[in-house]
Amino acid sequence: GPRAVIHTLQKGEVFGWAALVPPHQRTATARCVERVSLICLNGQELRELLDRSEHMGYVVMKNLSAILSTRLSHTTIALRREIRKLAAKPVAAR
């Protein structure tokens, strides 16, 4: 189906946090347009580590909630932009 760019990541930003947030389902895809280096973590092992260290778990989840809040704002703006574009099209073109 149609796709829309919701957010463009910059160096040092993260994506793919589904392993940390139940029900552990991905809600978006990512595509690299340049050569990148990635760090991939095993979600179950990371959750177990965070369970063992309450302080580390707190810090990670605090940072994750800030990321999610920002991404939700970006998503809202992008969806509004896409709705405006769709509403501006003549009915026959939809």
pLDDT averaged per 10 residues, the chain (length 94): 78 89 87 89 95 96 93 89 88 68
Q: How far apart are CA 54 and CA 47, in angstroms?
A: 11
Placement of tokens 């969806």 in the chain:
79
Q: How far apart are CA 20 and CA 62, in angstroms?
A: 12
Q: What pLDDT, on a 0 to 100 scale, did the predictor assign at position 82?
A: 86
Q: What pLDDT, on a 0 to 100 scale, did the predictor assign at position 1?
A: 66
Q: What is this structure's pTM?
A: 0.72
Q: What pLDDT, on a 0 to 100 scale, did the predictor assign at position 43?
A: 93
